[in-house]
Amino acid sequence: MDISFEHSGDMVVARVNENRIDAAVAIQFKDRMRELLQTAAPVVVLDLSQVAFLDSSGLGAVVAVMKLLGPGRRLELAGLTPGVLRVFRLTRMDSVFTIHDAAPPSLRHAG
């Protein structure tokens, strides 16, 4: 699972460089995020701008990552594609997560 990780002050951006988070990769996603979240940053922004498809297993994996952070830390989402945003809206998980249109500009890759 290709996830890049960038630090900026008290924020970390985890960019998923895959086009799907589904049953086939949900466990790999959680394991990779667990590795990357050893930092103590209070805010983690999950950039999903390259993810075109997310199923219920993928949604469960994102929720599991939120729980991995524990109290006092937040998981926020950014760059949801229309199909992924639809999953969050249909399940009402858009009311659980803070969702940004895009990752913070200072951290976004150019091109």
pLDDT (average), residues 55-64:
96
User: Which residues, 6 or more positions from 58, have their beta carbon under 8 angstroms from its beta carbon?
Assistant: 20, 21, 22, 23, 25, 26, 29, 51, 87
Residue 51 structure tokens: 């993810």
What confidence score (pLDDT) does residue 105 get? 64
Angle at 42 between CA 78 and CA 96, to 5 degrees: 50
| CATH no. for 3-100 | 3.30.750.24
Where in the chain are the domains? 3-100
| pLDDT grade for 9, boundaries at 50, 70 and 90 | confident
Tens of pLDDT, residues 22-45 = 999 999 999 999 988 887 789 999
Average pLDDT of the chain, as a whole number: 90
Model confidence at 103: pLDDT above 90:
no
pLDDT (average), residues 47-59:
96
Tens of pLDDT, residues 62-82 = 999 999 998 889 999 999 999
25 within 8 A of 1, measured Cβ to Cβ: yes
- Phi, psi dihedrals of residue 46, rounded to the nearest 5°: -95, 110
